[in-house]
Amino acid sequence: MKAADRQELFSRLAELNPRPTTELEYSTPFELLVAVTLSAQATDVGVNKATRRLFPVANTPQAILALGEDGLKSYISTIGLYNAKAANVIAACRILVEKHGGEVPRDRESLEALPGVGRKTANVVLNTAFGEPTIAVDTHIFRVSNRTGLAPGKTVRAVEDKLMKAVPASYRLDAHHWLILHGRYVCKARKPDCPNCVIRDLCRYRDKTSQDA
């Protein structure tokens, strides 16, 4: 995709949604870290339902450690893979207390050293909690990047690296959210809503849907 088209693509997404953000509910970097950890292979809606019960009771590493693993499970048992996620969150909380004074670190290396936190989760926290221009490539962003021709790649990391070069600097901070939301609600996996897509004319996807499809 040409530089002018990339600029136009993000200009339109920005006009449609000037202040995009995550659909996960959180009020602190720690709450975001927990919510993103819980969101792996789960919906934001499902995670929000669980954290609405959990965070009023325990929303710090110390408070979650006090709950214990079984106590935490009782709040997140509606989320897929909750046993493994509970173990990871407890282990991460222990490291946050012992090594970081109970605070979420602001650097990638420290974040990725936490159990249950991979590159994607670290990117979300760095971007959304700390305002770093990172792009966390999930299934939605991977699909949109390949379909549109914005940043085609065969692996998540390849797409991320291309996006960091392809996204105009002025849009990089919010690109993560625009692309996720576009993939979630418009450029859907099974049947993209091409007729109502604001970037349809810029997109290189060959199998665009029609109004009658």
Tens-place pLDDT, residues 20-43: 999 999 999 999 999 999 998 889
- Confidence (pTM): 0.89
**73 belongs to the catalytic site:** no
* Active-site residue, from 120, 201, 207, 208: 120
Q: Tell me, what's the pLDDT at 6?
A: 96
* Active-site residue, from 138, 174, 188, 201: 138
**85 belongs to the catalytic site:** no
Residue 206: DSSP 8-state:
T
How far is 118 from 108, CA to CA, in rounded Å? Answer: 10
pLDDT in tens, 183-192: 999 999 999 9
pLDDT in tens, 135-155: 999 999 999 999 999 999 999
